[in-house]
Amino acid sequence: MNNGMTSLAKAVALVAMASLVATSAVGACKTTLRGELVQAPGDRKASVGEFLYFYLVEMTAESPTGSEKLFQSFVVPNMSKTLPIPFALEIEQPKDCPGKLELRVDTKDRDIMRLGTDASSAGRKTVRLERFESVPMWGPSF
């Protein structure tokens, strides 16, 4: 009797584990966002630093006024001192890929979720993960 219960418990555990693996694989987001940082037209010359800070922000409708949530961030060493600068960001999340995200880029280590006046260059654009994106960079505002 005990062996029968043990076999049944093992079978239930295996089915539950297989279901969990299948569920996590279905909702995963694994892709590469490709694009380039370009000078914003008619703006002050954007300067670039030793590192580039990329923030993918998901716009959500959790409140009547809308809200935003950090989807993924990257710190990338910058090998070029002039624009345009190509980029490829490897996105890997356990949840589904959103249709649209806002890509925010900064050249100085600061909290870009609250854009303020600063001596760094910054850029932002609503992007789709499946397309090549050109992101305009603005020069510092004083």
Domain count, the chain: 1
Is residue 19 assigned to a domain?
no
Question: Is 4 a residue whose pLDDT tops 90?
Answer: no
- Digit-coded pLDDT (tens) for 83-133: 999 999 999 999 889 888 999 999 875 544 444 445 578 899 999 988 999
Is residue 10 assigned to a domain?
no
Residue 38: both structure tokens together: 């370009």
Residues 55, 104 contacting (CB under 8 angstroms) = yes
- Digit-coded pLDDT (tens) for 52-61: 999 999 877 7
CATH number at residue 44: 2.60.40
Is residue 2 assigned to a domain?
no
Residue-range definition of the domain harbouring residue 41? 29-138
Task: Return the pLDDT at 9.
Answer: 46
Q: Which residue has the tokens 């001596």?
A: 119
| Residue 68's pLDDT band (cuts 50, 70, 90) | confident
Indicate the residue type of 65.
T
Q: Does pTM surpass 0.85?
A: no
Is residue 119 assigned to a domain?
yes
Is residue 12 assigned to a domain?
no
Sign of CA dihedral 39, 44, 49, 52: negative
Cα separation, 81 vs 12, whole angstroms: 58
Is residue 67 assigned to a domain?
yes
